[in-house]
Each structure stands twice: as structure tokens, then as C-alpha cells.
Amino acid sequence: MNFDFSKKAYVLGAGAAIIGASFFLGGYFGYKYSREVDKVASVYNKESAIPLEARTDFSPFWKAWRAIEEKYVSSDGLERQKMLWGSIEGLAKSLDDPYTVFFPPAEKEIFESEIRGDFEGVGMEIGIRKDILTVIAPLKGTPAYRAGVKAGDKILKIDAETASELTLDEAVSRIRGEKGTAVSLVVLRNGEDQTREIKVVRDKIEIPLLETEKRENGIFIIRLFSFSEKSPSVFRQALREMIESGSDKLILDLRNNPGGYLEAAVDISSWFLPPGKPVVKENFKDKNEIVHRSKGYNIFGDTPIVILVNGGSASASEIVAGALQDYGAAKIVGTKTFGKGSVQELIPITPETSLKITIARWLTPHERSISEAGIEPDVMVEPAKEDDESLDPQLEKAIEIIKGL
């Protein structure tokens, strides 16, 4: 039997070629249609970042990551860690909540130093109001206070950088800085058409606590500037001073007090409320609530009280004013408060980074949302005009009201 070996070899070769092509095409189509996450080889722990129960398709993210890896032209190479931090920052920013923010290593250190109180800067609290960077309050005696920054000032530029393009924490980092250096703020003040530039020289910030003043007719004034860890004990001393002075009427001035610790707000409210009464409620995503109740010191429950507030009164100030207003324990005088009624939790992401995320909203005992409406005063009184700050019509109204209580 004769065999045509050349033909057979050709056929076998063709078969080998077909088999090889099938492997090639299989590999090509397998790569093309595999998950985008599998195509990214430059990062690890990709799967652990995606919860099994999540139904969101992450392939666009990984496709974008891979496109950058493969196509972006860069003389210095890619900074993949910076890409990751930027991705998380964008994730937090997408929530449209100015108080939810990711802290990369440098920003985390700045934030923690501020919490500790050992920081240098200008000494003012800022927030976002109607999408505009706004001064909540300058702290008394600080560089911002001395330079003439006012509660409610809208910050348009920081050292010629447009503020609207910055997140809240980016703005904070621009304003803060070393003692002796200066920052320029372009602000628009309520009721004015023209902007003004305010230059503030940074200094070490010593957060003030309170001042007291005895007036005639048994009136005692406590000006509380912040709700720090020390505020409850200092406030207790001020109340003792009030008793020893023979005063029996209290004006609690919370104007330009940007808040602080929740525990301090509950403790201070407890001097005026019976035990067990709700001071504030934390409303969470799953509709569960944590109710923070009065410790029941209640020594001054029958004392005539007027609380002064303005647009610089925020957070813990709103908790105290809202609770005493709900129970009829105090009259609120001034202008509407800032409306910062949310709770943040600091979650470690890595040892060097963290995520500050809003986890709950504050409600007054009668279920009023502080975030949505702030605290409306019982008696609305505008402050004095800027050119005549020797007058204080809000305080004068508070004195008038408390004389009749």
C-alpha cells in the first residue's frame, strides 16, 4: 500500500495549526470577555474589596484602571497608591455630604492634631451651607476673630484659589498652616454686594472655654465658647459662681459656639432637665435610634433661663438649645442657628488613613431635625450693624425678657 506522506504531513500540520489557532482564539476571547478585575495585574487584594453580596458592577472601574495602566503617558511613572487614595476620595465625595471625607496619610495627621487641640491656624470653624464654604464661627480671641472674620461670611477664595472647587477638608488644610504665616480670604458678608479680602496671620490656637458676668437684677451671664472635654467641669464652676453671687436668673450665651463633644452637651443640659429626659436622639440608617438622656442634675430646673444663639451656633450648641426649647425650660433669643446636626464616625482604612463618615442625624427630643432646619429662636433679634458693634441688641432683648420671667 502506498501512502502520500507529504499530503498526510500537510493535513497533520494543518490540524496542528487549527488546534494552535483554537488555543490562541480561546485565549484571546477568554481575555476579552473575562472580568475586568482579572485583567489588572498591578494591584492585589482586588477581590477582598468587593463584598460578595454587592450587586454593583465594578467592571467599569477596573476597565478604567487598566486603561490608565496601559495607555497613560507619564515620564515619572504611575503613582498607584495615589490613584487608590483618589478613588476612595471620589467615592466619599459622591455622597454629596461635606462631612463624609477620606483622609490620606498627611490629612489624617492634620485632622488628629486638630482633635487633640494642639494645632496652629486661624481659629475658626467652617462648613458647607447651600454648597458654599461658610464660616460657622470664629473662636473668640483667635487670629480670625481679631482679623474681623464674622459668622456667616461666605469664603469665595483662599489665597486666590476658588473655594467652590475644594472639599470642606481641602479648604481646612489650605487655611491652616504654621504660626506666623498668613492666609488671604476673600469673603462675601451677609447683606453686602461687594467682597472683601481679609488677611489672617496664623498662630497657635488656644480654644477658649467660657466667660462669666454678673449683672444687676439677679442676672448672671455665662458665655460658653466651645463644648470641649473640659467644658462640663468649667461650666459646673460657673454655676457655682452664679449661686455664690446670689443671682437667680441665667443668660446662656451660645452665639458663635461651633459645638464640640456630644457628651459635653448632654452633661450641660442635665443641669436643667429631670433625670431620664431625652436630650437628643441619634437617628441611624436602619431607623434605629440612640437616645441620650439627662443625667438629672436638675438643680436649675426652675431657674429663668434665656439662651442666645445665632448663625454661628452649631452642633452641640444646637443640641442644648433645642432640648431646653422643646421642654419649655428656656427662651431662645437671636437668629437661626447653623444647622449642623449630624454624627460622624472615624473609621480606620489602613494604619495611615481613615474615613470620616456621617452615620446618623441628630433630632431634638420632639423629633425636630437639626440638620434640616437648625433651631429657630422664640424671639428673633438681628445683631447690631457692623459699624456700631458697641451695641448688642440681642443681649439687651435677652435681659428684657428674663426680667419678666
> Which has more confidence, 380 or 111?
380
Q: 243 and 331: one domain?
A: yes
pTM for the whole structure:
0.75
Domain, as residue range, for 239: 210-344+357-403
Select which of 153, 169, 253, 326 is catalytic: 326
Give the pLDDT score at 188.
Answer: 96
* Active site (annotated) includes residue 228: no
| Mean predicted confidence (pLDDT) in 376-382 | 97
Q: What CATH number is given to the structural domain containing 131?
A: 2.30.42.10
CA 362 to chain centre: 14
Let me know if residue 39 belongs to a domain: no
Which of these three, 173, 204, 235, is where a domain ends? Answer: 204
pLDDT tens digits, residue range 139-179?
A: 888 999 999 999 999 999 999 899 998 988 789 889 988 99
What's the CA gap between 22 and 369, in Å, rounded?
65
* Active site (annotated) includes residue 159: no
How many folded domains does the chain comprise?
Answer: 2
Q: What CATH number is given to the structural domain containing 223?
A: 3.90.226.10
Let me know if residue 268 belongs to a domain: yes
Under the banding of pLDDT at 50, 70 and 90, the label for residue 128 is confident
What's the CA gap between 262 and 228, in Å, rounded?
9
- Is 346's pLDDT higher than 80? yes
Q: Which of 61-75, 115-129, 240-254 has the lowest mean pLDDT?
A: 115-129
| Mean predicted confidence (pLDDT) in 182-191 | 94
| Mean predicted confidence (pLDDT) in 213-235 | 94
Select which of 108, 340, 356, 397 is catalytic: 340
Give the pLDDT score at 7.
Answer: 39
> Which has more confidence, 267 or 56?
267
Q: Which of 40-54, 113-127, 168-182 has the lowest mean pLDDT?
A: 40-54
DSSP symbols for 164-230: GGS-HHHHHHHH---TT-EEEEEEE-TT-SS-EEEEEE-EE-----EEEEE-STTEEEEEE--B-TT
Let me know if residue 364 belongs to a domain: yes
Under the banding of pLDDT at 50, 70 and 90, the label for residue 78 is confident
* Active site (annotated) includes residue 326: yes
Q: 148 and 233: one domain?
A: no
What's the CA gap between 397 and 228, in Å, rounded?
28
Give the pLDDT score at 146.
Answer: 94
CA 390 to chain centre: 33
**Contacts for 385 with CB less than 8 Å, ≥ 6 apart:** none
Let me know if residue 381 belongs to a domain: yes
Q: 331 and 387: one domain?
A: yes
Lookup: cell for 302? 426652675
Q: 220 and 195: one domain?
A: no
Q: Which of 9-13, 264-268, 305-309, 383-387 has the lowest mean pLDDT?
A: 9-13
Let me know if residue 340 belongs to a domain: yes
Let me know if residue 21 belongs to a domain: no
**Contacts for 52 with CB less than 8 Å, ≥ 6 apart:** none
Q: 233 and 248: one domain?
A: yes
Give the pLDDT score at 8.
Answer: 40
Select which of 315, 317, 342, 354 is catalytic: 315
Q: 395 and 248: one domain?
A: yes
